[in-house]
Each structure stands twice: as structure tokens, then as C-alpha cells.
Amino acid sequence: MSDDSSPGPVTAPSELSGSARLCLACGLCCSGVLSPAAPLLKPGDLTVAARNRLRVVPEEGVFALPCPRLNGTRCETYTDRPTVCGTFRCALLARFEDEGGPIEPHLAAIARTKELLAFAESKGMSFAPGAERKMEASGADAYEMMSTVHELMQRLHTDFVGAETLPDPLKFPAGATEG
């Protein structure tokens, strides 16, 4: 979630910025659906990640997703998180922030994507990082599943991949921790 959308201490959705409402309705960037890992972008990120018990792979400069600090769609360590968590903007959020307009179509896109994910998962397809992406179906069930996966992949690519390319992660020696 971008830093300017900080939910702060308020909890009433009507008091949140539109950006915060979108991020809190979603959480896909932290869930592992979009990527199996998130990059550590600044030297202090390794310390932050270790302090928050994130699963760090220092030699790759990443922490594994899904983030263990994600509680539903809310970050348990929002004020003490790695840089990427405050700077990542999915394409949907970037369009909303850059173009403005009503929030409802963006919230509807999130809801539809989550509906498609839930349907595919109900048919046995896992979107967990590293999971084998396979499905078994025949006839009308196969057509429905293929249509669902097609729409889901289209939506993930159009709305949820990063709006900007992230810099390469910093690499640390295996077992490294900052002090």
C-alpha cells in the first residue's frame, strides 16, 4: 500500500482515503497471489523484516509471501514495514490515484477478482506460492473453469501487477542480519 494511503488510527471506512480503502479491500500484493516474494529495497529493510519475523531469503534480497503479518487484508506491522510495502502500487491503485474518478468500479474489480480466486480455489486450484497450478475437469465444468482462469489471469495482469518496475533487490550474505 502506498505511504500516502496510510489508514492511521482511524477504522471507519468513510474516514479513510480512497487509496487506503482500495488497499484494505484487497491485500493481494501481500497474499502471494501476485508474486512468491517481495524485494528488500533499502539496507534497513533486512532489519525491519527480521524484527517482524518475515521469512527472509537474504542472498536473494527478498522476503517470502504470503506475508505472515497480513491479517485478512490489514498489515499488523503497518508503521514498521519494509520499503516495498509502502511504495508498491498495483496498476489498479495507480489508475485510481493518477486518474481519479469514483472508487466503486475499482472496488468492484477487487471484489470480482477475489470471487474468481475463490471459485478457482473451490475447484481445487491453489494460488499459494510454489503450488502446482493444475485443474481437472471435463465438459461444461472444464469450460467454466477455463473461462474463470482466463478472466482471472486477465484481471491479475491488467489490474494487479505493479504499475512501475521495482528496482532490483539488495542481496545480503546467507544468514545475514543487520544490527
- Residue 93 forms part of a structural domain: yes
Residues 6+ apart with CB under 8 A from 116: 148, 151, 152, 155
- Residue 17 forms part of a structural domain: yes
Q: pLDDT tens digits, residue range 80-128?
A: 999 999 999 999 999 999 999 999 999 999 999 999 999 998 888 888 8
- Residue 105 forms part of a structural domain: yes
Alpha helices in 100-176 (DSSP H): 104-122, 139-155
- Residue 123 forms part of a structural domain: yes
- Please check whether residue 163 is in contact with residue 174, taking contact to mean a CB–CB distance below 8 angstroms: no
Q: Look at the chain and report how many structural domains it folds into.
A: 1
- Residue 80 forms part of a structural domain: yes
- Residue 51 forms part of a structural domain: yes
Q: Which domain holds residue 123?
A: 3-160
Cis peptide before 82 (omega within 30 of 0): no
Give pTM, 2 decimals.
0.82
Which 8-state DSSP code applies to residue 169? P
Identify the segments of the chain with pLDDT beneath 50: 1-10
